[in-house]
Amino acid sequence: MNINEYYKHYLSLHRNKHCRLLHFIGQLTTIFFTIFTLYNWYWYLIPLIPFVVYPFAWSGHYFFEKNEPAAFRDPVKAKISDWMMFRDIILGKIKIW
């Protein structure tokens, strides 16, 4: 399955607007955490950057979607799809409220 096909599957796991909102907040938090970490030269925090989003995203799946996060099955494609969904939310292609 290529990334575009996977992204369609990924979106089917993210139909609830509250879950998508939590993913969006998690991605924004990841951006701010990355800037903070690099600006302050906290090099020891760099390995945590890919994981900042998970408490937000997984709580969205647990409380709203009632399904298993995509990262449990294919973490690399799920991470790429997370950023694709973030982009689509910013562009207005996907609604979060």
Q: Report yes or no on 97 lying in a domain.
A: no
Angle at 30 between CA 29 and CA 33, to 5 degrees: 85
Q: Report yes or no on 46 lying in a domain.
A: yes
Q: Report yes or no on 96 lying in a domain.
A: no
DSSP secondary structure letters along 1-17: --HHHHHHHHHHT--SH
* Domain of 64, in residue numbers: 3-90
**What is the value of pTM for the model shown?**
0.94
pLDDT digits (tens, 9 = 90+) for 38-55: 999 999 999 999 999 999
**What are the tokens at 29?**
């938090």
Provide mean pLDDT across the span 66-72. Answer: 95
As for how many domains the chain has, the answer is: 1
Provide mean pLDDT across the span 59-87. Answer: 97
pLDDT the model gives residue 65: 97
